[in-house]
Structure 1
Amino acid sequence: MQRRSILTCIGLALLSPIAIAAAPGVPDWEIGPVIRGKNYSVGMPLRPRPTRTGWTFDFPAPDAARGHVHYVTFRPGSLAGKSRITVRYRIEARPGTRFVPQENPDLPAALSLYLQRRGDTWSAKGRYEHYRWFSPAATVQPLAPGEYEMRVRLDDPDWISVMGRTSGSNPDAMRAALADADRLGLTFGALGGPRGHGVFATAPARFTLLAFDIR
């Protein structure tokens, strides 16, 4: 379910132990993906900048030649027994700023939740088709200035594999990915298109993660 919200005071004391371990500002958050030594988030630093309440980064601007942000993830450890993730974030930009998917500039830019199983070859072939999962389409949120909240259940049957199959069609593969999770976080891509193929802004814009709560 998507919900735009005005954030209240949310401290780390309210988060579960795994959420504290993966809290905003922890150095393990990485801007990528980095595949065989190549970082696909062109023009971006390897790490977001820590802030008092979370972490932040600036979108590349004003065009794709300056770069694009794809994934921002961390290593959560096993997610077996966990049931939901709540993400709270803020986007700041001047009026009229557009967020553009670098491969699909005619589509709206969007934010999605992402999960990757340990040992993925990035080939999407055979069993590796079910090593990368993107959150259900109903939870994907367009990129626009404001403060937002995204809530995603890990047992939702509509998580989507890298080749477009749902977790409900192969629940064993999804359970295995949760139990042996290697990367978890956010992807930036196109609404109705590739989820993590990169986004830039047409003017200076900033993304700040306020909370990432796993329960």
Structure 2
Amino acid sequence: MIRTAIIAALVAALPAIALSVPESSAARAAPARASEWEIGPILRGRSYSPGMPRYAARENGATFFDIPWPSPREGHVHYVTVPTGSLTGARRIVLRYRIDGERGVRILPEENPRQKATLSLYFQRGGDKWTGKGRYATYRWYAPAATMGPLTPGTHEVSVPLDANWTAVQGANRNSAPEAFARALEDASRVGFVLGSSGGRGHGVFATGPARFTILDFRVE
């Protein structure tokens, strides 16, 4: 269980999600309900974040999830997203988050624990078959490597402009495939963040001890 000191820190959390978008673009905003932060991905009814609940929890005004520990056998968390509408015309995506854990606890990539665990902002075009082949090679988009956030204790903020050089699942980027990127923005269906490493975005992480990830603020501006 998360120790009393961690719980006490969470009670003082800021509001879970704050969205700031122009009124004309409100349809693209992510929902403010914790129950819509889906932990997955969920493919054909199966969760690819084993050991995790389907949705984030909300308690004492905080939206959060606990990271599986102490090894990948207990589970790992990969994608954390909410539904969205079109992102065309949006300027940037902003996430502020806090990680609480006991002293010495580390968060590690499930695929290669020797690498550094990272967070990347993410959005996905609707209708993705998750094959990464053909047209689906440009349906999932990850923020540039230089903007990846840390998975270490403390409060962090990641803000990524949507005119930056985002990378698609099979290596194309906004500069090399501008039309595909524009279509993905227009038809966006989910937005959020993924956990893994620089060598495996969204390939999942686990913790060496009790650790909690709290979403303090999320905005599509």
The normalised TM-score by structure 1 is: 0.89
Give the Å deviation of 1:47: 0.6
Give the Å deviation of 1:176: 0.5
* Counterpart check, 1:162 vs 2:169: yes
Q: Number of paired residues?
A: 206
In the superposition, relative to structure 1, how do residues 160 and 44 fare at CA in structure 2: closer, same or farther (>3 Å)?
A: same
Partner of 2:209: 203
Q: Deviations over 1:69-125 (max 9, x none)?
A: 001101111111111111111000112111111111110111111111011111111
Counterpart residue identity of residue 94, structure 2: T
Q: Secondary structure at the match of 2:35?
A: coil
Partner of 2:35: 27
Partner of 1:194: 200
RMSD: 2.2
Supply the distance in 2 between the matched residues of 1:79 and 1:209 (Cα, whole angstroms): 21
Q: Deviations over 1:18-66 (max 9, x none)?
A: 4995254342210000111210000000010024544100000000010
Please show how residues 171-186 of structure 1 align to structure 2 within 5 Å.
171-186=178-193
Structure 1 unpaired stretches of 5+: 1-7
4+ runs deviating over 4 angstroms: 8-14
Matched-pair contact (CA < 8 Å) for 1:117–1:180: yes
Give the Å deviation of 1:15: 2.6
Supply the distance in 2 between the matched residues of 1:19 and 1:213 (Cα, whole angstroms): 13
Supply the distance in 2 between the matched residues of 1:136 and 1:46 (Cα, whole angstroms): 27
Q: Secondary structure at the match of 1:147?
A: strand
Supply the distance in 2 between the matched residues of 1:206 and 1:213 (Cα, whole angstroms): 21
Partner of 2:219: 213
Structure 2 unpaired stretches of 5+: 1-12
In the superposition, relative to structure 1, how do residues 195 and 189 fare at CA in structure 2: closer, same or farther (>3 Å)?
A: same
- Equivalent pairs: percent with the same residue? 50
Supply the distance in 1 between the matched residues of 2:14 and 2:161 (Cα, whole angstroms): 23
